[in-house]
Every structure is written in C-alpha cells, then in structure tokens.
Amino acid sequence: MSGTSSFGVVAMGEFRLVLRTGLLAGGLLLAGCSTTAPVPDLFPSPVMTPMPLTAGVRYTEEFRDYSYTEAIPGEHKWIVMMGSANVAMFNSVLDSVFDQTVPLDGTESPRALSRRVDVVVQPEIESYEFAAPADWGTHSFTVWITYRVNVLTPDGKLITSWPVRAYGESRHKLFNADEALAEATTMAMRDAGAYVSLHFDDEPRIREWLREEAARISQGPRFSRGPGER
C-alpha cells in the first residue's frame, strides 16, 4: 500500500493553491463550475480465514455521512460524497477479518457489550486529499486518504488508534471529471481495505492484545453467556 510523503501531507495544499491561482489568472479554469463525485458502495469481500472473534462495529454519524468539499473562490468546486462507501468498505473488510460482526449504535453499556462482543472497532477519516490533472500536468486524478482505525475492548479501553494511509489513481477521463475523481477515491479506499484485511493482526498493539486474550482464554472462560448468547 502506498502512503503519503511529508510533502504530500504538509505542502501539497499550498502548492495546489499557488498553481491553481496561477491557472485561474491565466484564464485556464472555468469559474462557477461544480463537480460532484459520488463514490459507489460496492466492495467485494476479501477471501481470508477470519479470526475466531466477534467484533462490534461502530460508525459515527460523521463517518456515515462523510463528504469532502474543496473550492477556491472563482474556481471549480469539488464535492466528494463517500459516506455510504466508507460503511460498505469497512463492513466488507471486517466481515472477512472476524468470524462475526455486530453493528453498534453507541448506546450499549460496557457490561452488555462484554456479553456480545470480544472487541470494538470504530473507524474514522483523518484526512482526504486529491490532485486534479491540472495540479501536476498529468491526465489522472490522484487521491490520498488517511483512515484511523480505533480498536477498543468492550469496556472502552483503547487497544490502538491505527492510522491507515491509502492511495488511488484514476484512469484518464478528460470530460468526466466526476467519474475520474470517484474512481481514484474508490481505488484509494480499496487500497485501505486491502491493507486492513492483510495486516489487522500484524499491528503491534493488536497483536499484543490478541496474545493476552489467548492466554486469558486458555485459563478459563472470561464470562458466562446467557441463554441464546454466543
């Protein structure tokens, strides 16, 4: 998986502002235009052996409804809609990582959670960045996304807050900027999903927690589940 360089994270916004302002002054950009790129929510499930754990999955409202808007005054306005795609991607990934997943709404008590799940996963979007063809003089859109995957015990203790950086690039679609930007975003999301699928149990703090859980389970059941509970 590709990550962002320090230039990509820190300086790209300033570079793009200078470049786009120059293009605007030269009359190369159309004022008042807007491109909306809805990202499709179709993500195939990775084929892998799941961990024998039940994960509670919690999505914040911000994550479910996430959209990114960028506009420099007098320039093109970009809107990237990826809320439902975020949920679809992580549902697909986590359904493959874990034996079972349980949707959570944030109202569950720690005691109730401890009887239903072994671990809680709550992803967030930390940053979204893109480069249009005009930014670099190329024929493709490029997208960088940083997700933060928070993994917690059922009683709310943070196991890890794991940054996952992803990269995607579209094929050239000169007259379909919305499709090209959506495609680049989808590629970045798939990059993130593949990384989480392959490396979830390789993340050092998660690996340490898994060892502790295995040792505790080997000493006896952690709790007794009620009738009908897994």
* 189-230 pLDDT, tens digit each: 999 999 999 999 999 999 999 998 888 777 755 444 444 444
pTM here is 0.76
Fold of 6-218: Rossmann fold (3.40.50)
- Reading the block at residue 128, the tokens are 């979204």
Q: Binning pLDDT at 50, 70 and 90, where does residue 33 land?
A: low
Distance (Å, rounded) from C-alpha 7 to C-alpha 15? 10
Measure the N-to-C terminal CA separation of the chain; round to a whole number of Å: 36
The DSSP bridge partners found for residue 143 are 130, 168
Distance (Å, rounded) from C-alpha 10 to C-alpha 18? 14
Domain boundaries in the chain?
6-218
Q: What are phi and psi of 194, to 5 degrees?
A: -65, -40
Q: Binning pLDDT at 50, 70 and 90, where does residue 175 land?
A: low
- Reading the block at residue 160, the tokens are 């890890």
Residue 28 pLDDT exceeds 80:
no
- Residue 53 has a CB neighbour count (10 Å cut-off) of 16
